[in-house]
Amino acid sequence: MNNISFADLNLAPEILRALTESGYTVPTPIQAQAIPLVLEGCDLMAGAQTGTGKTAAFALPMLQKLLPLATPSPSPARHPVRALILVPTRELAIQVEASVKAYAKHSHLRSLVVFGGVDIKTQTPHLRTGVEILVATPGRLLDHIEQKTVQLNQVQMLVLDEADRMLDMGFMPDLKRILALLPKQRQNLMFSATFSNEIKRLSEDFLVNPKLIEVARSNATAENVTQKVYLVGHAEKHALLAQLLRGSDAKQALVFTKTKLTASRIARQLHREGFAADAIHGDKTQLERMQALDAFKQGKITVLIATDVAARGLDIDQLPMVINYEIPSAAEDYVHRIGRTGRAGASGSAISLVAPEEEKYLFEIEKLIKCQIQRATPLPTRPVERAPQAEHHVRIRAPHTSVTKKPVHDAWFNKPYEPSASTRVVAPPPDLPSKPKSPLPALFMRRKVSPSDAED
Ligand code: AMP
């Protein structure tokens, strides 16, 4: 399956050219499986984690199918919305649309992204010029529908991306309203990192005879991500985090917290300790979030602290390290978090700092991913340093600064990271109990509540 090329998938020369320019040489497994089925016109239920290339898996055949309708005409009437891609968050929306645009750059197909948190009036003129492919978060799309700034009566393809997350965030009522407004005759594609019973029910509701494809085992974590847990008290977490960051050979790390407050606090504290750190969460404006993300992507920031909602959909190439400062209470969020590393075949490391009161969540996570995560030996904590800034040399820092490693007490820090086979995902035993219901939906059930409002 993996020996095939993009050309074997019957994609048009203008798409192939864009792929070459994007640096893609061979299709990923999800692309190799999904593209022929979508081109055939099948509905699809695809189990694929972030980082598997799932965006191109639906976007490429979508563009291929829409190409005959592409026109250089400036008339908006010649550019109706023909494909709708619904995603749970703004960041993912921006990212998906950027990919679509890159793949469509040599065609006359137009794409646009609309999401909440910004003035709706800024989006309307762009919608009015006409776009074939619309990427939207559900709430903002409904706003546009209410304001009659978008027509969906010519939609022939619908994609629900990260469907599991959309359900977790309480978007079901919005989705139902949107689905009711679409033409009945259409192709539906659903992508989900996890296959819960709710996802199966949703797929039964809106897919017609779907083909089922799955590139990673359901609810599995990326196999090339090495996972470790440190059992540590809350009070020691910051010192351990700083030690891990200093001792790591990783160039960058994404650190997850449960709340906006903790994210900001850690960012401030790390900053004081000499790290190029910043936080992204729902209290930051869209612009601040984009700036922090850009700085991280460019390597100007080496430690990005994020809440789950803010981090959703982040596409950061070759991120070597994810640290869970606090583990999530919804086990599936763990899968999403560590999906930020080990992308596109690269190896990654996911480290979780688990306080005694968090251990119950750890057990739920292990039940979900069907493996026990290696417990690392707790590190000797160092006394809190009050030394002047200059003494705080860090391994992880912006590329333009000099890299000097501060000696640490434990020789462990000087050793290269050694992945442990025991942390790899093992084959799932049949019929393990499904995960307990996430506490998130109750928080998110209200329509028009920005997902990021509910982070704390
Ligand atoms: P996704 O899972 O869609 O978020 O994609 C993850 C990352 O893989 C993105 O940075 C894509 O640009 C990249 N990618 C997707 N398909 C390919 C491919 N066939 N070859 C190389 N990189 C890819």
Question: What residue ranges do the domains of the chain occupy?
Answer: 6-214, 225-381
Cβ 300 vs Cβ 321: under 8 Å = no
State the pLDDT at residue 221: 55
Binding site membership of 352 for ligand 1 (Cβ less than 6 Å): no
What ligand 1 atom has the least distance to the C-alpha of 54? 3
Among 16, 28, 215, 341, the mutation site with the greatest number of ligand 1 atoms within 8 A of its Cβ is 28
Share above pLDDT 90 across residues of the chain, in percent, rounded to a whole number: 50
CATH number for the 225-381 domain, one of 3.50.50.60, 1.10.10.1100, 3.40.50.2000, 3.40.50.300?
Answer: 3.40.50.300
C-alpha–C-alpha distance, residues 35 and 62, integer Å: 9
CA 163 to CA 191: how far, in whole Å? 6
pLDDT, tens digit, for every residue of 176-201? 999 999 999 999 999 988 777 888 88
What's the whole-model pTM score?
0.60
Which residues lie closer than 8 Å to 298 by C-beta, 6 or more apart?
Answer: none
Which is more confident, 80 or 369?
80
Q: Tokens 């960041």, residue?
A: 91
Residue 454 has pLDDT above 50, yes or no: no
Q: Quote the ligand 1 centre to 189 CA distance (angstroms).
A: 18
- CATH number, span 6-214: 3.40.50.300
Length of the chain: 456
Residues 6+ apart with CB under 8 A from 288: 280
Q: Round to whole Å and give the CA distance between 114 and 422.
A: 43
Atom 20 (ligand 1) nearest CA: 24
Among candidate residues 88, 121, 126, the one with its CA nearest the CA of residue 444: 88
Q: How far apart are the first and last CA of the chain?
A: 44
Residue 14 confidence (pLDDT) above 80 = yes
Give tens-digit pLDDT for 397-432. Answer: 333 332 233 333 333 223 332 323 332 222 223 322
What H or E segment, with its residue span, contains residue 140? helix 138-146
The pLDDT value given to residue 47:
86
How many Cα atoms within 13 Å fall on the side-chain side of residue 16? 10
- The predicted-structure confidence for 429-453, as pLDDT tens digits, reads as follows 332 233 333 322 222 222 233 333 3
Q: Is the pLDDT of residue 90 over 90?
A: no
With a CB cutoff of 8 Å and minimum separation 6, the contacts of 394 are 245, 246, 273, 274, 275, 406
What does the pLDDT look like over 131-184, one tens digit per residue?
999 999 999 999 999 999 999 999 999 999 999 889 888 899 999 999 999 999
pLDDT at 63: 98
* pLDDT grade for 337, boundaries at 50, 70 and 90: confident
Does ligand 1 lie within 6 Å of residue 312's CB atom?
no
Q: What is the mean pLDDT of residues 342-370?
A: 84
Report the C-alpha gap between 289 and 296 in whole angstroms: 11
| Average pLDDT, integer, range 231-235 | 92
Q: Answer whether 29 contacts ligand 1 (Cβ < 6 A).
A: no
